[in-house]
Structure 1
Amino acid sequence: MSTFAQMIENITPEIYQSLKTAVELGKWSDGRRLTTEQKELSLQAVIAWEMQNLPEDQRTGYMNAQECASKSTPIENILFKSDSVH
């Protein structure tokens, strides 16, 4: 019996793309819907394959080192305005 790691090593780029598309669409290429377990295992396989074969910036879920938009956008304080009457 193969381990998960051995199965990942045997995934070709074509199989990877098929798995990735199936996860994205929620169905296999023949139209059958993926079960919850199939989605989970396929996504795990996609992520594991990408870690071995793709640079970090091309992997699923990659976010460039950027600052959160809420940190860079000033928010007006509407609760405690300095010109309010107490």
Structure 2
Amino acid sequence: MTLDKMIEAMTPDIYQSLRRAVELGKWPNGERLTQEQRETSLRAVIAYEHKRNMPEDQCVGFIDRTRPDGKQHGSDPLQPQVLKILADG
């Protein structure tokens, strides 16, 4: 089965189960995922989210950069931020 066919056949319950397995590093029965299983499952989760056009804040790996005052930390998270070092004296 190709990844595309697997994603097409994936139900929301299967997606949630795979996502949980990747997060915890183990299957629902407690058995640990191998590195290959974790990588493959993560690819499937990301592909499912992309195919379903899920909102960014619901996707795996999302980091909320909102400060308590509602503003975003930094203007662009991919651009370096300038640090000013002030010396005494």
- What TM-score, normalized to structure 2? 0.71
5 Å-filtered alignment, 1:36-75, equals 36-53=35-52, 54-63=54-63, 66=72, 67=74, 71=81, 75=84
1:35-83 per-position Cα deviation (integer Å, ceiling 9, x unaligned): 0000000000000001112123321123457415x838x54334xx5x3
Q: Which structure 2 segments of 5+ residues have no match?
A: 66-71
CA deviation after TM superposition for structure 1 residue 5, in Å: 0.7
Separation in 1 of the partners of 2:16 and 2:32? 17
Would you say 1:26 and 2:4 are equivalent positions? no
- Partner residue of 2:8? 9
Moved more, 2-11 or 23-32: 2-11
The whole-number CA distance in structure 2 between the counterparts of 1:52 and 1:8 is 8
User: In 2 relative to 1, CA 64–32 (structure 1 residues): closer, same or farther, beyond 3 Å?
Assistant: closer
Amino acid at match of 1:28: W
Tell me which structure has the larger Cα radius of gyration: 1
Measured at CA, do residues 64 and 24 of structure 1 come closer, stay the same or move farther in structure 2, by a change above 3 Å?
Answer: closer
Q: Kindly provide the amino acid, as one letter, of the partner of residue 25 in structure 1.
A: L
Q: Which amino acid aligns with 1:52?
A: K
Structure 1 vs Structure 2: percent identity of aligned residues? Answer: 49
- Read off the aligned partner of 1:57 and give its amino acid letter: D
> Which structure 1 residue ranges, 5 or more long, are not aligned?
none
| 1:76 matches 2:75 | no
RMSD: 2.4
